[in-house]
Structure 1
Amino acid sequence: MVIRAATCAAASVALLLPFVSLAAAQEDLREAAQNPIANLISLPFQNNMNFGIGNTDNVQNVMNIQPVIPFHLNDDWNLIVRPILPIVYQEPFLGGLQLQEAEQVLGSNIGQNHFGLGDLTPEIFFSPSKPVMLAPDVSLVWGAGAAFQLPTATNDLLGTGKWSAGPAFVTFLSVKPLHITTGFLAVNIWSFAGDGDRADVNELTFQPFLNYNMPKGWYLTSAPVITADWEAGEDNRWTVPIGGGIGRIFKIGEQPINAQLSAYYNVVKPDDTGADWQLRAQWTFLFPSR
């Protein structure tokens, strides 16, 4: 009886091992997908629909194509390249009498809907290849580098018309006992060349993020994008959203996918161009090394 029980227990363990290994692999992949500078090739398509822009009920839609491509430099360092290309559909920020007055000064172009490319923003980070272990199952990854903005917009109203650059920094903290990953990404760019008739660029982008990981690949997420336009007046400087959503890691065939849906309300926004709230949907193809 003892031998039979031991045999049954061993068989049960052997049957469970593949499922335990699969769950652990899924958790590792989910954590890597939540890390902006993970050693993981990914291709995110992030669609941001902004409602109530400016002084209107109009809509702006920005689809960001933002692949993440890591390069292994040596045993100690990785180079992470994150180009971000926006595809923009934009309705007028003004309406009624304000729009009529603006059209008389700036031309009818300002009152039209526009669709095209925005400014390309490549981000480059140098990051240690091994995380810093702060405690058992608590690790920190960081990266430092630069961001650049190229005037690739197909319409003046969809871009800045400037060449810009500045420092970039990112952190990623994993606290597995609490099922949490968190961190932030910060970039500030300044214009140094471009159309002399266009406004100078001096803009901060700060994105804190927090994820609470649940069973079966599900997670809760919050990643508001806080911006400050230092060249604008105080009434048009800050955008501060609050909100969050839900996401999941899963597979279609053999292709791992990270999908999420979230919503953010702007508690502070630019008076002239800010949106009331945003609906964000993201679909990311993941390409883990095999």
Structure 2
Amino acid sequence: MKTIRTYYLKSLRTTRQIISFLVLFVSCSLFAQTDADALAKQLQNPIANLISLPIQGNFDFGIGSAEGSRMILNIQPVVPFSISENWNLVTRTILPVVSQNDVYGKSGSQFGISDIVATGFFSPKEPTDGGIVWGIGPVFLIPTSTNDLLGVGEFGAGPSAVILTQKGSFTIGGLVNHIWADNYSATFLNPFFAKNFSGGKAITLNTELARNWTRDEFAGIIMLQGSKVFTIGKQAINAGIAPRFHFGGARSADWGFRTVLIFLFPK
């Protein structure tokens, strides 16, 4: 660092050049930080007008009676469409790639694709007067599982909704859906609370609750995720990591963690 600093000081031979360089450097730094802060806040909104490609890895261990393990890699693009002057349609698609071992007792190993979950939220472009952001629409379960132990294997559908509010650096909200299929009925609830910090940093308390009405099973996961927005070249990326605390359910894991990379494409 000292060598680089000396090189620049020798290069900038006049006071005017030094001042110009410092002003330019500070301006660029402030712009980058402000941009990262804005993107980090948008990411707390599941239906923000922001194209993104999250790649989420969920790793769980000590599952069920056979102490099984599972890795789920969720590829979940989010694409908003303007459908009128006042409304957006925000599509969220989750494609799970699964590798698991002895999850259902001594069931051996399975690897492949699970069922796709695709949601479309119709959402007003502007928050309500009270600052509420909301969206509602259909959710579809598409039977793409390559193994009976990796998914439901049936087409399903149901309603989905999301609601949140953002006050300063805080975000609080929740997402819910219910899916019916021929031999499947399940509710998913995802309340979340986030606090953003300068420099594109955030801490998010994320809870995932699932009720399988067909099997009369309930399970939940609590995660406390730290994340940060940064750039590689011109590509904006958000990276995060969180421990996963499981509760309820005969096949809950003893412990786990989540990693996520989100590629961002702001308009």
TM-score, with structure 2 as normaliser? 0.87
- The question of whether the paired residues in 2 share the 8 Å contact of 1:224 and 1:264 is answered with no
The answer to whether residue 210 in structure 2 is matched with residue 227 in structure 1 is yes
The yes-or-no answer on 1:283 pairing with 2:261 is yes
1:43 CA drift (Å): 0.3
Q: Distance in 2 between matches of 1:45 and 1:264?
A: 17
Superposition pairs for residues 6-17 of structure 1, below 5 Å? none
Q: Secondary structure at the match of 1:282?
A: strand
Aligned-pair distance for 1:17?
Answer: 5.4
Q: State how far apart, in whole Å, the 1-side matches of 2:104 and 2:126 are.
A: 50
Q: 1:58 aligns with which of 55, 62, 68?
A: 68
Structure 2 counterpart of 1:190: 180
Superposition deviation, residue 161 in structure 1: 1.7
Sequence identity percentage: 36
Classify the secondary structure of the residue corresponding to 2:149.
helix
Residues 239-276 of structure 1: per-residue CA shift (max 9 Å, x gap): 122331210011111100011100121132x11x2222
The secondary structure found in structure 2 opposite 1:36 is coil
Q: Which residue of 2 aligns with 1:249?
A: 229
Partner amino acid, structure 2, of 1:150 = I
2:145 aligned to 141, 150, 153, which one? 153
Give, as a single letter, the amino acid of the residue that structure 2 aligns with 1:23: Q
Give 3-state SS (helix, strand or coil) of 2:199's partner: helix
Q: Name the CA shift for 1:14/1:131 in 2 (closer, same or farther; >3 Å).
A: farther
Give the match for residue 80 of structure 2. 70
Alpha-carbon distance in structure 2 between the residues aligned to 1:274 and 1:116: 21
Counterparts of 1:62-211 in structure 2, within 5 Å, are 62-95=72-105, 99=106, 111-134=107-130, 139-176=131-168, 179-192=169-182, 200-211=183-194
| SS at 2:155 equivalent | strand
Contact 1:44-1:67 within 8 A present in 2 as well: yes
> Which of 242, 251, 256 does residue 262 from structure 1 map onto?
242
Q: In 2, distance between residues paired with 1:65 and 1:261?
A: 16
Q: Partner letter of residue 229 of structure 2?
A: I
Shift of 1:133: 4.0
TM-score (normalised: structure 1): 0.80
Cross-structure match for 2:197: 214
Alignment of 1:240 onto 2:224: no
Tell me which amino acid in the other structure corresponds to 2:34.
A
For structure 2, the 5+ residue unaligned runs are 1-21
Would the aligned equivalents of 2:95 and 2:116 in 1 still touch at CA under 8 Å?
yes
Q: 1:52 to 1:229 in 2, by over 3 A?
A: same
Tell me if structure 1 keeps the 8 A contact 2:37–2:201: no
Q: CA deviation at 1:124?
A: 0.6
Question: How many residues of Structure 1 are paired with residues of Structure 2 in the alignment?
Answer: 247
Q: Which has the higher helix share?
A: 1
Question: 1:62-108 deviations in whole A, cap 9, x for unaligned?
Answer: 1110000100011100001111100000111355xxx4xxxxxxxxx
Give unmatched runs, 5+ long, in structure 1.
Answer: 1-11, 100-110, 193-199
What amino acid maps onto 1:188 in structure 2? H
Does the 8 Å contact 2:67/2:102 carry over to 1? no
State the shift of 1:282 in Å: 0.6
- In the alignment, the residues of structure 2 paired with residue 278 and residue 15 of structure 1 have an alpha-carbon distance, to the nearest angstrom, of 42
Which one-letter code corresponds to 2:239 in the other structure? Answer: A
2:261 alignment partner, SS class: strand
